[in-house]
Amino acid sequence: MKQTYPLPVHHSWPLYERDRFFELGQLHGNEMLDPVPDLDDVVAPVRPARLGQWECDLTDDDRLSWSDEVYDIFGIPRGVAVARHEAVALYTEGSRAAMEKLRAYAIRHRRGFTLDVEIKPARAPRRWMRLIAAPVCAGDDVVRLQGLKFIVPGSIGPEF
């Protein structure tokens, strides 16, 4: 039975609103990351069961860095090197197109974005994942994208 998901999130936001959507240091207690989301605004009223951090280094051939939770979300063994094109292939066609469009816009205009995407994990059922991304700038250049990924509450069964 195909599960439906009501009204996915899909929007871009300016970097001055970063604190509203994206305060990684507060959420994960990691001093290396920028200060992260007030999840009450982002996923109220249910906090996600699996919330993972990710980063894409634009200066190093789109090298991905994922927390263990992101590996779990995508159904890939933890610690395996994943090329960006391999990860993107796990998005459904419509979600992949929307994500690539917002990603390009974020890089070009130095804006963050929030997007719900449907993914086809390597070893798990299809599910909806919320993607929160913000560019990291060095001078006028966007050098990385970083953010959060989590399963949208209610989009898959209780096994996750």
Element holding 21 (H helix, E strand): helix 18-21
So what's the pLDDT on residue 19? Answer: 62
Tell me if residue 112 falls in helix, strand or coil. Answer: strand
What are the structure tokens assigned to 26, written together?
A: 């507060």
Model confidence pLDDT, tens digit, residues 30-82: 333 343 344 444 444 445 557 899 999 999 999 999 999 999 999 999 999 99
Query: For residue 120, is it left (φ>0), alpha (ψ between -120 and 50) or beta?
Result: beta
Model confidence pLDDT, tens digit, residues 92-129: 999 999 999 999 999 999 988 888 899 999 888 899 99
Domains of the chain from N-terminus onward? 10-18+51-151 (3.30.450.20)
Element holding 11 (H helix, E strand): strand 10-14
So what's the pLDDT on residue 32? Answer: 34
For residue 130, which amino acid is it?
A: R
Instruction: Give the other-Cβ count within 10 Å of 46's Cβ.
Output: 10
So what's the pLDDT on residue 117? Answer: 93
